[in-house]
Structure formats: structure tokens, C-alpha cells
Structure 1
Amino acid sequence: MFMSFVKSILAASLLAGVMSVGPAQAEFPERAVTLVVPFAAGGSTDVVARVIAERMSADLGQQVVVQNVGGAGGSLGAGNVARAEPDGYTILMGTVATHALNPLILKNKPYDAETDFAPVSLLVVVPNVLVVNPQLPVKDVKELLALLKAEPEKYSYASSGNGTPLHLSGELFNAMAGVKMQHVPYKGSGPALTDVIGNQVPIMFDNLPSSSGHIKAGTLRALAVTTAERAPSFPDVPTMAEAGIPGYETYTWNALFAPKGTPKDVVDRLNASAKVAMADPAVVERMKEFSATVVASSPEELAAHVKAEMAKWTPVVRDANVQMD
């Protein structure tokens, strides 16, 4: 009798144990991850994204597929990610445009940069560079200023789109140098570069990664980098301050974001994978080629960075008087 009672208790305990375990939860990721680049292929953000995606694919054991969604200065692609399923399978390669400038410039805001995303990692900080078509008869910034002042409003500059850091770099240049170039926006740095190389538009502010190969090949002439210090990969190119516009400084950055509500363990897995990618010697070397400074931050550090960038760019946007629908 006693043994029968013990057996029934053991059987009940075993059944309860089996029921409490339930189905095992699959480990992230089970399938491909889409990394949205909110600009056309060929630009700086696209270059960084493809290098990172390849290394993260190896670490995650699933393909990280780069998807270019250009338009609205990066807001179209960023907005798509903000509204995506918060499961980690759709993530964004964000920039200073998507998470600092657009929120300040756009009247109709498709997302809130601080509350509609789960920060993953600040990957790199990237210099900008002022480039011209070699057929433009200028060898440095002083000669460019002389040309622009001699023939006001004759010359145009290309950018990766309205409201992007490259657009604002041009407007800041106009304001600080006392010149007037016409702005020609494109749906990304890639197509803008194509037209500058083809001399359809003679001048451009670009991210250094996407222009570096063209500068080395001689199809673009670099006049100045826009950071406070010279770029290690182009030590002979002066800063804008050295070239005659003191106080001028702009740059961009690339960071990974997931939609708001993405589970913490998924964000942590993506963060860990991004850190593995950024620590890879081949990736580090690739970043050095265009003077991108590797950061590989925590999610919390990226959140603080976005807040600081919004504060920094607010007076710049206000003074440049840039507003768009």
C-alpha cells in the first residue's frame, strides 16, 4: 500500500516536471537578420554595413542581409525599422542623420529617435571630407572660396539627401565662409558621388569611407577633412580649420538599432555579435583604411550618445535655419 502511494507521488512529480519544462525556446537567431541601410548602395553607411554584416553573419550563424531603403534623408528606412516586429530580425544601421538631424529638421516626424528604438551599439565615428571634381580649377579651400565669391550662386554641391549630415555640412560651409552654393540632393552618397565624378555637380561633402577610393584613384580631389584633427589615412589633407575656416567641424557615425520593445536578451546577443565584428583584425584594418574610429559601445552608451548628439546639433540646425516637411 505504502509503495503504491510512493509510486503515485513519483509519477505525479515526473508528470509535473515534464509539463513545467514545456517546449524549449529557440535561441536567437533562427533565421536571417535584415540590416536596413537607410541610404542608397555605395555610400559610407552602406560600406560600413556590408563589412559588419559579413562578420556578424559568421558569428550569429545566420545571414545578416543588407537591405538599402533610401529616401527622405534616411527617415524612410529608419521609420520602417521603428515600425518593424520587435524580434531582432529587422535592425537599422543608424547615423547622425537618422538619430540627431532628422528629428530636429523634419516638421512631420515619422518616429521618435530616443523612444522608438532599442539601442544596440555605436560602431564607428567617421570623418567627412570636402571633395571636388578634378576639372574644377581649385587646389585648396582658399582657391575654392575665391572661385565661389567671384561667381556667386554659379556652383552647386551634391549631398546624400535633404537634411543629411552632408547637406548640413554644405549649409554650414556656406554660412561660415560667406558663400552661396546651390544644394543638389540625392537619394544617397553613391549616386551623388557618381555625378560629382562625372562632373554633373562639381563639389560635395562626403563621408570619407565612400570617397577614399576615388581620392586615391584621382577621380576626386580632397580639399579638407571636416574633423578637428587630420584623418590618419590622408595625413596630407588639411582640416577645414587649417584650410581657412576656423571652428568648422562635422562628422558622422554608424550605430545599430532595433525596434522598441525588442527583448533584452536579443539586444544583448546583437550587441555581443557587433563587438565580435568590431574586434576582428580584418574589420579593424578595413575601418582604418578610411579613418573610421572603432567604438563598439554598450546599448546604454549608445542611448547616452544619441541624447548628447541631439543636444549638440540643436543650435547648429537652428542657426543654419534648415527645416523640411
Structure 2
Amino acid sequence: MIKNLHHYALVAVLGLLALPLAAQSQSYPNKPISLVVPQTAGGTNDIVARLVAPAFGEAIGASVVVENKPGAGGNIGTQGVARSAKDGYTLLLTINSAQAINPALYKNPGFDPINDFVPLYYIGATPYVLVSPPGSPYKTLADVVAAAKKRPGELAYASAGNGTISHLLGAMLNTSAGIEMQHIPYKGVAPAINDVLGGQVPLAFASLPSALNYIKAGKLQAIAISSAKRSSAAPDIPTIAETYPDCVGEVWVAIFAPVGVSADVIKKTQAAMDKVMARPDVRDKLAAQGLDLNPVPPSKLPALLKDELAKWVRIVKVSGAQLD
């Protein structure tokens, strides 16, 4: 009898010792999740992150903290996530310019978009818009092209930085229209827009979410957008493609995790985001910012990333852009 009691006691102790391990595997998440945005505040992915984070936190059962970690066109924040613990508590909410253009643009971006990351969830895509300040003579694309042809190299446009989509769209327009606009890079879209608002630079390419409130308030003039078809959020703005069909480029937003996270983390993250994107209030807010929410399922996201890498390599080569 005593022997049996010892046996049961030993089994109970071993069971208690095993509990923390079992609980650990089942309890993700049990602390705050960091959602890293590798750009400054005010850009597309920052706007999307701050709209999505509260609902994501509710759905997954933990607080979700948005952290802006800008620098080197998104490379610094992206590298940081690639090198972070593979426990699901550091995720990357990024745009295709950082994930698909930087590897073509930088000699050493410090990360491999295919081998360092697991694509978790595609949220949506949005065009860029070419804008000018109120009262500007540049009201239409024809106005811009005529002025650029009259004064080659003088008409300037601002972008969110070297090698960003806003930079490369200007390079694409130069090629498509046979013009030569001068590129002025900024450290993020917010300072670029500020200098257009202040009249320091006549034009800028900005993502529709970052510019739409200014356009609606009459503080910026919308000249044309960069999608293949007009945006449902701003149907009155013509597309560049209506005049130059090959001049198309959009920014899409997706969530990535560092390679090595568990299948459990991937499953829970994707299930939580499915709940987020099923919420009408979240969808309405994102759509109001100009995002097209046509879904790309997680299984198709790796193929989309590879297609984008191939596309932007060609455009970077044509633009002649190269950064160390």
C-alpha cells in the first residue's frame, strides 16, 4: 500500500512538472505582441497598423503594440524582426516597397525576404496619388507632362525616400511620358507632404491613405493615381494608366513573422486576422483610407512576393537607383 502511495505521489509530481511545458505550448499569447512598422508614423502601413492593432489584440487575446522602427528605407526595422526571437511576440507589418524593392535596391539590405520570413497575412493594397498644393498650375497629368517637357530636369517631385514606390513611380512616369522630373527624397511620406503643403516642392507621390484626408479637406490637389483602375475611395481621381497604360504600381500591406515561429503561432495569428478582416467596422475604416481589401490568401502570399521581387528588379534597373 505504501509502495503504491509512493508511486502515485511520484506520478503526481511528474505531472506537475510537465504542466508548465504543456501550458507554455498552449498559452500563446500570454504577453503583449509587438507589431513592428519599419517606417515613420503617417505612412500607409502605420495607418493600417493602428487601425488593425486593437481588433487584432481582441481577436488573439493579448495587447498588440505598434512600434515604428524606421531607417534605411525600412531595412532597419525589417532586419530587427528577422533577428528577433522566433516566439511570435515580434511580428512585422510591412509594405511591398520594403519587402520586395529593397532587396533589388540595396547591395546588402540585411535580410532575405524569402528565407528570413514567413508570410502570415495579406491585408490590402492601395495606389499612390500624384498631388500638388491648392492653387498650383499642375492640376492634371497633362499639365505636369507639358511643364516637364518645357523645362527638362527642373520640375521636382517629392517622395518618401530613395527606392520607395513613390520614388520609382516618378521614374516610371519619366520613362512612360518621355520626361525628366527631378526627384527629391524625404525621410518618410509625412515630411514630403508637409513640404508640398508649404510650397517648398511642387509635386509629390504619396500613398492614397496618407494623402486622402488632405485631398478631402482641399489642402492638396489630386492629379492622378497609380492603380490600373480608379479607386472606389476616390473615384473622381483619374489613373495615370488612362494616359500611360504601363505606368502602374500599388503598395500592399501584409504581416510577416520571422522564420522559425511555430505552426501554432502561425495558425493562431491567421485565425485572429480572419476575425479582424471579417469585422465591418475595420473593413469600413480601411476602405475609407483607400485600401482595396480583395483578399490574397496566405497560401498565395509567397507567390505574390516572388512576382513583386521580379517586377521591381526590372523597374529599379531602369531607374538606375542603387543604394549601399
- Distance in 1 (CA, whole Å) between partners of 2:288 and 2:193 is 19
Q: For the Cα contact (< 8 Å) 1:82–1:116, is it kept in 2?
A: yes
- Distance in 2 (CA, whole Å) between partners of 1:236 and 1:298 is 30
Q: For the Cα contact (< 8 Å) 2:169–2:247, is it kept in 1?
A: no
CA-CA distance at 1:10 after TM superposition: 7.2
CA-CA distance at 1:87 after TM superposition: 1.1
Taking only aligned residues, the RMSD between alpha carbons, in angstroms, comes to 1.8
Structure-1 residue corresponding to 2:251: 252
- Distance in 2 (CA, whole Å) between partners of 1:99 and 1:51 is 21
- Distance in 1 (CA, whole Å) between partners of 2:142 and 2:296 is 38
The Cα offsets for residues 282-320 of structure 1, whole Å up to 9 and x where unpaired, read as 111012213312245554322222112112222222222
Instruction: Please say if 1:276 is aligned against 2:267.
Output: no
- Distance in 1 (CA, whole Å) between partners of 2:232 and 2:246 is 20
- Distance in 2 (CA, whole Å) between partners of 1:319 and 1:249 is 15
Structure-1 residue corresponding to 2:171: 171
Code of the residue aligned with 2:90 in structure 1: it is T
Q: For the Cα contact (< 8 Å) 1:40–1:191, is it kept in 2?
A: no
CA-CA distance at 1:61 after TM superposition: 2.8
Q: Is the partner of 1:294 in helix, strand or coil?
A: coil
Residues 232 and 43 from structure 1, CA distance in 2 versus in 1: closer, same or farther, beyond 3 angstroms? same
Runs of 5+ in structure 1 lacking a partner?
none
The Cα offsets for residues 91-149 of structure 1, whole Å up to 9 and x where unpaired, read as 11121112110011111221000011122111111111111122321221001111111
Structure-1 residue corresponding to 2:136: 136
- Distance in 1 (CA, whole Å) between partners of 2:127 and 2:287 is 11
Residues 17 and 93 from structure 1, CA distance in 2 versus in 1: closer, same or farther, beyond 3 angstroms? same
Code of the residue aligned with 2:149 in structure 1: it is K
Code of the residue aligned with 1:282 in structure 2: it is D
- Distance in 2 (CA, whole Å) between partners of 1:141 and 1:219 is 18
Q: For the Cα contact (< 8 Å) 1:45–1:254, is it kept in 2?
A: yes
- Distance in 2 (CA, whole Å) between partners of 1:309 and 1:11 is 64
CA-CA distance at 1:20 after TM superposition: 4.7
Q: Is the partner of 2:124 in helix, strand or coil?
A: strand
Code of the residue aligned with 1:312 in structure 2: it is K
Equivalent residue pairs, number: 319
Structure-2 residue corresponding to 1:309: 308
Code of the residue aligned with 1:308 in structure 2: it is D
CA-CA distance at 1:151 after TM superposition: 1.8
- Distance in 1 (CA, whole Å) between partners of 2:160 and 2:154 is 20
Q: For the Cα contact (< 8 Å) 1:95–1:252, is it kept in 2?
A: yes
CA-CA distance at 1:76 after TM superposition: 1.4
Instruction: Please say if 1:16 is aligned against 2:8.
Output: no
- Distance in 1 (CA, whole Å) between partners of 2:275 and 2:3 is 52
- Distance in 2 (CA, whole Å) between partners of 1:184 and 1:321 is 15
- Distance in 1 (CA, whole Å) between partners of 2:89 and 2:182 is 40
Residues 298 and 13 from structure 1, CA distance in 2 versus in 1: closer, same or farther, beyond 3 angstroms? farther
- Distance in 1 (CA, whole Å) between partners of 2:320 and 2:165 is 14
CA-CA distance at 1:46 after TM superposition: 0.8
CA-CA distance at 1:174 after TM superposition: 1.3
Farther off after superposition, 105-114 or 186-195: 186-195
The Cα offsets for residues 141-178 of structure 1, whole Å up to 9 and x where unpaired, read as 00111111112222221111111111111111112112
Structure-2 residue corresponding to 1:96: 96
Q: Is the partner of 1:129 in helix, strand or coil?
A: strand
The Cα offsets for residues 33-83 of structure 1, whole Å up to 9 and x where unpaired, read as 111111111111111110011211222232211111122111111111111
| Alignment TM-score, normalising by the size of structure 1 | 0.92
Q: For the Cα contact (< 8 Å) 1:159–1:204, is it kept in 2?
A: yes
The Cα offsets for residues 185-234 of structure 1, whole Å up to 9 and x where unpaired, read as 12211221111111111211111111111111111111111111101111
- Distance in 1 (CA, whole Å) between partners of 2:93 and 2:188 is 14
Code of the residue aligned with 1:133 in structure 2: it is P
Q: Identical aligned pairs, as a percentage?
A: 39
| Alignment TM-score, normalising by the size of structure 2 | 0.93
The Cα offsets for residues 218-267 of structure 1, whole Å up to 9 and x where unpaired, read as 1111111111110111111111122x223210101000011121112112
Runs of 5+ in structure 2 lacking a partner?
none
Residues 65 and 8 from structure 1, CA distance in 2 versus in 1: closer, same or farther, beyond 3 angstroms? same
